[in-house]
Every structure is written in structure tokens, then in C-alpha cells.
Copies of this chain bind each other. A is one copy, B any other.
Amino acid sequence: MARTRLTPEREGELYEAVLDLLREVGYDALTMDAIAARTRSSKATLYRQWGSKPELVAKALRHNKPGDLSDIDTGSLRGDFHTVLSRTDDCQMEKDAALMRGLSHAVHEYPELLQALRELLIEPEMNGFDEMLQRAVARGELRADNPALKYIPHMLIGALAARQLIEDRPVDRAFLTDYVDSVVLPALGV
């Protein structure tokens, strides 16, 4: 198996190609054949490395996220949240939102995609948030038993979904920063 291991650079190239294809044709029409052709790799390599299309898509999305949330440590929860948001510019946020809209459509039809997104994208992302929150608890900024803690994903997903559905506008950094300051931090008692 060692000789088939991809370099991090090659892995990154593959993930970018997968996201490009996903934007071009959508999840439904995305095939392992098309990914193999676009990246000049064999389907056998793709399956050996990722197992399945949903897994490959989820890992590509995860790779697309800027850095590890647990690296962020500004000394205040507000500062940490603002730093998370400052890592992605508005153009990238709009591209990401378009991707997620397409996928939120696809998860209705492909439960194995939803499963892969939960395990390989949402849970690792939430673990990064948890470390950030645990540091705020350790600093005495946040109570460990605050009942809103378990609803942070719900609050954040609501911001993304409703911006589109009700306001019909793309998410951007100014909106998300105001939402964090107006909803997330007050709900957490910060």
C-alpha cells in the first residue's frame, strides 16, 4: 500500500479537481470516471484511497476549509469567532455556499452522502469548535453547562440557510460577524 500513497500536493490537486467538477456538473452527474479523467489518475487509485464517491466529496470539502479551527487562540471567544470568519473572504464564502446549496439538494437523494458529510466534514469541524469552546470554559468566559452549547451547529446552519431562503442574498463576512455577535455569543452568555 505504501507505494500507492499520494503526496499531500497530489492529494490537494485531486480535491480541487473534485470541487471544480462538483461546481460544473453537480453531485448527481459527478462520476468517478470523470474525476479519474480530469485528474489523470486511475479509478482503482481513487477507490483504494477514498472508498467511494461520497467519501471523496466529503474529504474534498474538508480539505477546502482554511486550516484547523483548534489552532485559533486569541484569548477571547469573540476574537476566536471573528478570526474563524476572517480566514475566508467573501468570494470564497459565496462559492462555498453555492456548493453547499447543491449538496443540500443531493443529500435528500443520497443518504450515504449525508452520512459521509456528517462523519468527515461536520463532525471534525464541530470538534474544532469544541476545542475553541473548551478553552473559553477554561478561561471562565463560558459556563460548561450553558444549554446553548449543544445548539451551535443549529445556530450556524440557520444563518446559512435562512440568508438564502429569506433574504435571498449570499452570506458574507459582515453578515456572519453580525450574526455571531447578535445571536451566538449572547445565547452563550458571552
Contacts and interface: CB of A to CB of B under 8 A. Distances in A.
Interface string A143-179: 0000110110111111101110110100000000011
By secondary structure, the A interface counts as helix
A83 to B, nearest CB: 21
A37 interface: no
A181 interface: yes
A165 to B, nearest CB: 7
A107 interface: yes
Given A157-B165, A166-B153, A181 B147 contact: yes
B163 A158 contact: no
A114 interface: yes
Contacts of A114: 165, 168
A7 interface: no
Pick the 4 closest A-B CB pairs, nearest first: A158-B158, A147-B182, A154-B162, A157-B162
Given A151-B182, A154-B179, 5 more contacts: A104-B165, A148-B186, A155-B155, A158-B158, A187-B187
Interface string A94-116: 00000001001101100000100
Given A181-B147, A186-B187, A187-B183, A158 B162 contact: yes
Nearest to A117: B165
25 contacts: A101-B108, A104-B104, A104-B165, A105-B105, A105-B108, A107-B165, A114-B168, A118-B165, A118-B166, A147-B182, A148-B183, A151-B162, A154-B159, A154-B161, A155-B155, A156-B158, A157-B158, A157-B161, A157-B162, A157-B165, A182-B187, A183-B183, A186-B187, A186-B189, A187-B187
